[in-house]
Amino acid sequence: MSLEFLVASAIAVLVAGGIYLVLRARTFQVVLGLTLISYAINLFLFAIGRLVVDAPPLYAKVVTHHADPLPQALVLTAIVITFGMTALTVILSLRSFLEAGTDHVDGKPDASPDADAGARA
Amino acid sequence: MALLALIFLPFAAAVLLGVTRHASRSAHVGIAAGASGAGLAILLAQAPAALAGMVPTIQIGWIPALGLDLSLWLDPLALLFAGLILAIGLLVVVYAHGYLGKEEPSARFFSFLMLFQGAMLGIALSRNVLLMLVFWELTSLSSFLLIGFWRDRADARQGARMALTVTGGGGLALIAGLVLLGKVAGSYDLSTILARGALVQASPLYPVILLLVLGGAFTKSAQFPFHFWLPYAMAAPTPVSAYLHSATMVKAGVFLLARLWPVLAGTEWWFGIVTSVGLATMLFGAGVALYRYDLKAILAYSTISQLGLMVMLLGFGTAAAVTAAVFHILNHAAFKAALFMHAGVIDHETGTRDIRRLGGLAAVMPLTATLGVLAAAAMAGLPPTGGFISKEMMLEETTHALLGGQHLLVPVLATIAALLSAAYSLRYAVWLHAGKRRTGEVAHPHDPGAAMLGPPALLAALALALGLAPMTLAAPLVAAATAAVTGTREPALHLALWHGINPALLMSVGAVAAAIVLLFRYSATARIVAYLPAPDAKNLFDRGMEMSVAALRHASDWLHRASLQRYLFVLFAVALLLGLDAAVRFALPAGTAPTTVASPIAVIAWAGLIAATVAVVAVDRRRFLALLFLGVIGLVMALAFVHLSAPDLALTQIAVEVVTIVLMLLALHLLPHHPPRLSGAGRRVRDAALGLAGGGGMGWLAWAIMTRPMRDGISRFHWENSHAGGGGDNVVNVTLVDFRAFDTLGEIIVLGIAGLAIFALLEPAARGIAGRRLREWRSSELFSSERHPMMFVMAARLLLPLVLLVGFYLFLRGHNQPGGGFVAALVFSIAILLQYLASGFDWTDERRRIGEHQLIGLGVLIAAATGLGSLLFGAPFLSSSFGHFHLPVIGDVELATAMLFDLGVAFVVVGAVTMALAQLTHVAQRAARQPPEERA
């Protein structure tokens, strides 16, 4: 197996799990899903710079083979921003739970076991 | 230049009136009349050139990319309309001086009136159809303001709304029509469009263009079945009715038909639609006018009928019919404006407009009666007025029209319409002024002052003069305007009262005679008419509006279900479809670049990540477990970054992972731990399918990219300039704080805002219903009896200086080695966070010297100031500079301004992260601290 395949398949699995979780009705699952999707996106961005083993982008005159620094810089800020976003959604879901008394994403009470399916009909 | 001044004057007057709204009434009248008068003078100065064929033109580029130019001309047709607009405008201003009550806000009235005048002049003078559209909409808007001038009256507001809805809706159709026309003709310039009639009529889009343009024209000119707004617009003050709803605005539709006549007219479509709509409107309006009792309603339906007449004539498609239409425009403007003013005078003097309560006014108001009778005679088409001549011409033209293969259809119906017109005109003239004296609310009405009497008298005299001396007064203008409409040479005109005995004269005489007979049988016919079904347009309109509002609300309720799941599903599905679309169109085969062989350790780590992801999904409702697996994923990510030559990312990922998991743990502490499942199986299968499709797509995309060779992008620049230009060897860090520092500045601001938003969300959580829930909260977990275990507290305090040192080290070496502001700040935050967790919120909060808010603000300020500092040295924003210094003992130290920037970054990150975690700790501890007795 190649590294490229490992990364690509990891992205695929993370996105699939992320989308599934984001579409759930509980806020905490949505947060988990967002986190998974963020991992995947960061990995995807990083992969655009191609995979290079053991050649960090630390400048030296003699070095010619090195990883692409630009996607790394982008991903670094993305990781930090992801934290900001995750924190905000976590707090938002907590506040929404405190206000509405339920952790349903739309603030609906847990009266019926299949409330969201009913609303969709 | 003169044309610009012409257009500009009314708008300037409108603004001036708005500014001087506290000035006296006379000042307002002076401004409005001055603007109209000056405009008229300019127009007259330009008239000879326009009539002689040297059309004054001006063109200024506005938005050339759209084909929209400020392009004006004054051809004879524009001259005719501009003359009407300015001359009648001037008279209306004078009349309104007498008409408006003392208390009424004259500045607002005249300001709206001037706004309308400017818009209307714009329609007449535009040589660019897009420009014309702008003015067209402006007339609808100013008409709305004028109809609703008496804001406190419900009928005025409703009438204004209805007029705006109908004419505005027509305006939308017109926009589509004219844009299509411009596309087909290849230009929005009118003179170009007018020369390309054959091209347009040959286009398959011609019927669409025609219908859309007619939609605009028919709504504006109140043609059946869009006529219903005009009678309700009579809620406007009478000067407005006289100006907008008889002489100018409602003629904009007729003007448009005339303007586009060379392009659109002459086809079967044109003849069939325009002629029959005009004819139907003429008949219908005249019939209704005869059985109305409100003077203004009679005049409104009469206007509808007369507009139908003009539309019908333009529909015939012959030059002679156009001549008749143009001449009738002139006649109608004169007598109808006079009659509206006359009705206004009667209303003003007697307090009523109900014709049943009025009569014998000739004796008490002789001057008013004289001008009223004169204007009504012109409306009836009686000699020797101009109305007689244009009606003769109209009847003459109907004898040549062949509608639906019937020779007699048009002439017979037109004669009936003429009969009805004569009848309502005579009824208006005779019932008001002759017979038993009935004077409405007032016992002894009398003629009004010169301001109210002069303008209608002048217009009535003009209506008469147009019949007595048509060749001198009207012929040159009518001939030139006809030529401008048809785009051919000027016709040889012979306007006269007497043409010998011909079919038209016989039809005319027959119609008037029958009208007199009809009036003698009026009450009998009125009883029959009363039985006819008369659908109330307002009810129908209101019901239509209600239905459309209900339908729209239904649609928006259906679309806007306030369901996050639904929105996100649509979002992901659309993203997936867009991706599929691109994949189908560009085909994304895998590349051929060589791949890297994975080590066994990499495979094991990968397997761990896959297993953990599946576990997060599978155990989703056992939440602490899910969090544990999430930590595994983060760890594998960090390991992957280490392996794939990204030490900075690995450091950041590890640090962020710690704070993220702690944050989620704290939140989960308060959230339900094992909530019941909400989604049904079907929905879960559907979501899983979408997830798999999306994941598959993303994975394939990543694969396709990674198996293609790298292109030489901008990365090379970063690599090569990092040391020489940025003074650092860690290219990632230099990129962040130097090359792309502006990005980073934006990013820390976003992070700071997120921190503040978290504060705003949690700070008020102690109050209201959220606060009550927080106080009622009970943990389902077992707690250690010791709130702050001694071991944990001591270890955390011992660790603090060590962790801070590590952070400091990471910060300092960041420019050349893995590290930097972000990582250092995260490590700092973890050190502080440990204290909050170990010793509690209060203990830690007391001991901190600087608050999170200040940290965030200070950080952004430092970063921005560093960037601005470079401006002082004449370098662009955020340029960095650096130097090497030798310090004893420590050795060579490099100092770069970028490090100062990095310090700002670190401040913001520490501020935002501790803000989120400390606030959450605070809330969690507030909930947990409740003494047991208080909870019970």
For residue range B668-701, list pLDDT tens digits in order.
Answer: 888 877 777 777 888 899 999 999 999 999 999 9
Burial of B144 (0-12, 13-18, 19+ CB in 10 A): buried
What is residue B173's predicted lDDT score, i.e. its pLDDT? 95
Q: What is the pLDDT of residues B603-631, one digit of tens each?
A: 999 999 999 999 999 886 788 889 999 99
Of the candidates A117, A121, A118, the one whose C-alpha atom is nearest the C-alpha of residue A23 is A117
Domain holding A46: CATH number? Answer: 1.10.287
Query: Chain B residues with CB inside 8 Å of A62's CB?
Result: none
Mean pLDDT in residue range A13-34: 92
CB atoms within 10 A of CB B205: 14
To the nearest whole Å, the CA of B643 is away from the closest chain A CA by 6
Q: How far is B918 from chain A (nearest CA, A)?
A: 12
Out of B647, B687, B695, closest to residue A23 by CB: B687
Instruction: Rounding to the nearest 10 degrees, give the CA dihedral for residues A96, A100, A101, A107.
Output: -80
Q: What is the pLDDT of residue A114?
A: 45
Of all residues in chain B, the one with the smallest CA distance to A105 is: B564
* pLDDT tens-digit series, residues A82-112: 999 999 999 998 888 888 888 888 877 765 4
Count the Cβ atoms, other than its own, within 10 Å of residue B875: 12
Subunit contact A15:B649, Cβ cutoff 8 A: no
- Backbone dihedral region for residue B379 (phi beyond 0: left; psi -120 to 50: alpha; all else: beta): alpha
In this structure, what token pair is assigned to residue B644?
């794939």
Per-residue pLDDT at A58: 86
- How many residue pairs bridge chain A and chain B with CB atoms within 8 Å of each other? 342
Cis omega before residue B384 (within 30°)? yes
Rounded to the nearest 5°, which phi and psi values hold at B809?
-60, -45
Which residues of chain B are within 8 Å of residue A31 when distances are taken between CB atoms? 664
Query: CA of B707, closest CA in chain A: separation in Å?
Result: 8
B347 min Cα distance to partner chain A (Å): 60
User: What are the tens digits of pLDDT across the range B212-231?
Assistant: 999 999 999 999 888 889 98
Q: Give the model's pLDDT for residue B935.
A: 42
- For CA atoms A38, A40, A45, A51, give the dihedral sign: positive
Helix (H, G, I), strand (E, B) or coil at A19: helix
Question: Which residues of chain B lie closer than 8 angstroms to A39, CB-CB?
Answer: 633-634, 637
Chain B interface disruption, residue of A94, A96, A99, A103, most B CBs within 10 A: A94
Query: What local confidence, expressed as pLDDT, does residue B767 receive?
Result: 76
Q: How far is A98 from chain B (nearest CA, A)?
A: 5
Residue B313 pLDDT: 93
Give A65→chain B minimum CA distance, Å: 11
| Element containing residue B68 per DSSP (H, E) | strand B68-73
CB contact under 8 A, A47 and B705: yes
Which is it for the CA torsion B711, B717, B722, B723, positive or negative?
A: positive
Per CB-CB distance under 8 Å, the chain A contacts of B744 are 77
Please list the ranges in chain B whose pLDDT falls under 50.
931-936
CA distance B466 to B386: 5
Q: Which residue from B295, B298, B158 is spatially nearest to B233, judged by alpha carbons?
A: B158
Residues 637-676 of B with CB under 8 A from A: 637, 640-641, 643-649, 652-653, 656, 659-660, 663-664, 667-668, 670-672, 675-676
Q: What is the pLDDT of residue B848?
A: 78
Residue B819 has φ and ψ, to the nearest 5°, of 150, -145
Q: Which residue has the tokens 């990365």?
A: B715
Query: CA of B133, closest CA in chain A: separation in Å?
Result: 44
Q: Looking at beta carbons, which residues of chain B come within 8 Å of A109? A: none
Q: What is the ipTM of this complex?
A: 0.91
Cα B352 to Cα B909: distance, rounded to the nearest angstrom: 77
How near does any CA of chain B get to the CA of A92, in Å?
7
Q: Which of B613, B637, B774 sits opposite A17 (nearest CB)?
A: B613
Q: Which residues of B touch A19 (CB under 8 A)?
A: 572, 687, 690-691, 694-695
**Alpha carbon of B793: minimum distance to chain A alpha carbons (Å):** 25
Q: Given its phi and psi angles, is residue A109 left (phi above 0), alpha (psi -120 to 50 degrees) or beta?
A: beta
Q: Smallest Cα–Cα separation from B179: which of B58, B255, B61, B67?
A: B67
Strand-pairing partners, residue B69, are: B61
Inter-chain touch B644–A52, beta carbons under 8 Å: yes
Distance of CA B806 to the CA centre of its chain: 58
- pLDDT value of position A78: 92
DSSP of B585-607: HH------SPPPBPPHHHHHHHH
Looking at CA atoms only, how far is residue B875 from chain A in angstroms?
A: 24
Mean pLDDT, chain B, integer: 88
User: Between chains, do B729 and A60 touch, taking CB under 8 Å as contact?
Assistant: yes
Identify all chain B residues contacting A34, using CB atoms and an 8 Å cutoff.
none
SS3 B681: helix
Of the candidates B714, B770, B916, which has its C-beta nearest A91's C-beta?
Answer: B916
B681 at interface of A, judged by CB pairs closer than 8 A: no
Test A17 with B597 for CB contact under 8 angstroms: no
Res A116: pLDDT: 43
E-assigned strands of B350-392?
358-359
Residues 6 or more apart in contact with residue A88 via CB below 8 angstroms: B754, B757, B758, B761
Contacts with A, B 598-627, CB within 8 Å: 598, 602-603, 606, 609-610, 613-614, 616-617, 620-621, 623, 626
CB of B770 closer than 8 Å to CB of B919: no
Instruction: Find, among A97, A120, A56, the residue nearest to B687 by Cα.
Output: A120
Mean residue pLDDT across chain A: 85
B719 and A76 within 8 Å at the Cβ level: the answer is no
Cα–Cα nearest to B697, from A50, A34, A17, A15: A15
Handedness of CA B827, B833, B838, B839 (dihedral sign): positive
**Closest partner CB to B596 (pick from A4, A9, A80):** A4
B414 near B315, Cβ under 8 Å? no
Torsional class of B63: left (φ above 0), alpha (ψ -120 to 50), beta (otherwise): beta
State how far the Cα of B571 lies from the Cα of B226, in Å rounded to an integer: 42
CB B739 within 8 A of CB B727: no
Q: Is B719 in Cβ contact with A12 (below 8 Å)?
A: no
Chain A residues in contact with B597 by the CB 8 A cut-off are 2-3
CB < 8 Å to B706, chain A: 4, 7-8, 47, 50-51
Determine, for residues A79 and B706 on separate chains, whether the beta-carbon distance falls below 8 Å. Answer: no
Tokens of B199: 């091209």
Q: Count of domains in chain A? A: 1
Q: How far apart are CA B210 and CA B173, in angstroms?
A: 10
Cβ-proximal residues to B197 (8 Å cutoff; 6+ apart), any chain? B262, B263, B264, B266
Smallest CA–CA distance, residue B117 to chain A, in Å, is: 53
Which of A1, A21, A105 shows the shortest C-beta gap to B603?
A1
Q: Does B592 touch chain A (CB under 8 A)?
A: no
Nearest to B737 by CA among B824, B659, B668, B672: B824
> What predicted TM-score, i.e. pTM, was given to this entire model?
0.69
Q: Determine whether the interchain pair A79/B652 forms a contact, defined as Cβ–Cβ distance below 8 Å.
A: yes
- B754 Rama class: left (phi>0) / alpha (psi -120 to 50) / beta: alpha
Instruction: Please give the Cα distance from B834 to B794 (Å, whole number).
Output: 11
CA distance B22 to B27: 10
Contact B660 A44 (CB under 8 A): no
Give the domain range for residue A102. 3-120
